[in-house]
Amino acid sequence: MRLFYIGGIGRSGSTLVERVLNELPGVCGLGEVAQVWDNGVRDNRRCGCGAAFRDCPLWSRIGGYAFGGWDDVDLDRITWLRAVVGQTRHVGLLAAPRLGERRRARLIEYVDYHARIYAAAAAVTGARVVVDSSKDTALAYGLRWAGPADLRILHLVRDPRGVAYSWMRRVHDPESGTDVAVPRFPAARCALTWSGHNAAYDLLGRLGRRRHGAVPGRLVHRMRYEEFLADPPGTAGTLSRLAGLPQTGLDLSYLSGGEVELGELHSVSGNRMRFTTGRLALRIDDAWHTGLPAAARRTLTGLCAPLLRRYGYHRARPPEASASETAAIGPETDDRLKV
């Protein structure tokens, strides 16, 4: 079983990327597994299939296989472990070349709860690749130490101005049936959060995989969300190779004409589009160019400048270029998505 972990920051398009991957044969997308304990086991929220978590046939099978049933999961223990080794503030310690014996034991225990879900999902579905779009930076670092041997991390990046604008808008919540305002943060906080998490994934890519039994090859591969939307079939093909899926006879016909045909995704957290099925238009959302206040744009551009340049977002849009052509322009760095 190979674990394909999508990292980055919220509102970067991870749900859509996972859903496109989930349509490939041999792939099982699980949404944000790091949120299963709270949203699923504790709160019994709706799965992307429409059923409550404990009524979802897939999650019931996963819980039975991994733990003997969700009622046997010690939520208090998981909450405690997350507090002592699974918070963003622990990333600096988890990046060290060695861990203390006590911290390492706690980290192994914490990661094992997630690893048992991955293994159970592969067993009950027959999937070769399990996708987790948690984006949880501390969990990504923990997986480096104690996760499945065959781990690939996709570092998904989106323009921080687009991310910030996305957090400013009201959205429709399918669970409540109402429009709700997502949490709003000052532009400076958005900029620092975006820079901090993306820099952490850059560092994780440089650290590589330094534990016994690791599968050779790069651990972290980076892709811009805008590149994905500029060429969904091409990037889906690249991601399928990265995931180690057979390329002979690979059918990407569900991606055509600027649309994607989506089936169910069994996710209990994440973007509201986890409930969407059927044909979905793929388009670049660049409304921030006109909708983001000028002061916020200047703050985000200034504070994120080093990584904007690293990821290629500093380049001016050619006047004659279309949105898709602009999004296709990528950074000239050696750690972009390559297979």
With contact defined as beta carbons under 8 Å apart, do 138 and 92 qualify? no
pLDDT tens, residue by residue, 156-185 = 999 999 999 988 765 555 555 555 555 567
- Over 80: is that where the pLDDT of 40 sits? yes
- Over 70: is that where the pLDDT of 321 sits? no
In the chain, % of residues over pLDDT 90: 76
**Gap between the Cα atoms of 298 and 315, Å rounded:** 15
Which of 160, 118, 202, 175 minimizes the C-alpha distance to 297? Answer: 160
- In this structure, what token pair is assigned to residue 18? 């996972």
**Gap between the Cα atoms of 300 and 45, Å rounded:** 34
**Gap between the Cα atoms of 75 and 93, Å rounded:** 24
Position 167 scores a pLDDT of: 82
Position 208 scores a pLDDT of: 73
Average pLDDT, the chain: 88
Lowest-confidence region among 25-34, 38-47, 55-64, 324-333: 324-333
Residue length, the chain?
A: 339
- Over 50: is that where the pLDDT of 279 sits? yes
**Side chain identity at 303, as an amino acid letter?**
L
Mean pLDDT value across residues 54-69? 98
**Side chain identity at 206, as an amino acid letter?**
R
Mean pLDDT value across residues 3-20? 95
The residues facing 181 across adjacent strands are 170
Position 286 scores a pLDDT of: 87
Position 270 scores a pLDDT of: 82
Which of 287, 77, 304 minimizes the C-alpha distance to 187? Answer: 304
Mean pLDDT value across residues 129-143? 97
Position 186 scores a pLDDT of: 87
Mean pLDDT value across residues 30-57? 97
Mean pLDDT value across residues 314-336? 41
pTM of the model: 0.89
Better-scored residue on pLDDT, 300 or 173: 300
The reply to whether CATH 3.60.20.10 applies to domain 2-327 is: no
Helix axes 101-125, 75-85, angle to 10 degrees: 130
Reported as a pLDDT band with limits 50, 70 and 90, residue 293 is very high
- In this structure, what token pair is assigned to residue 322? 């279309």
Q: Where are the domains of the chain?
A: 2-327
Mean pLDDT value across residues 39-49? 97
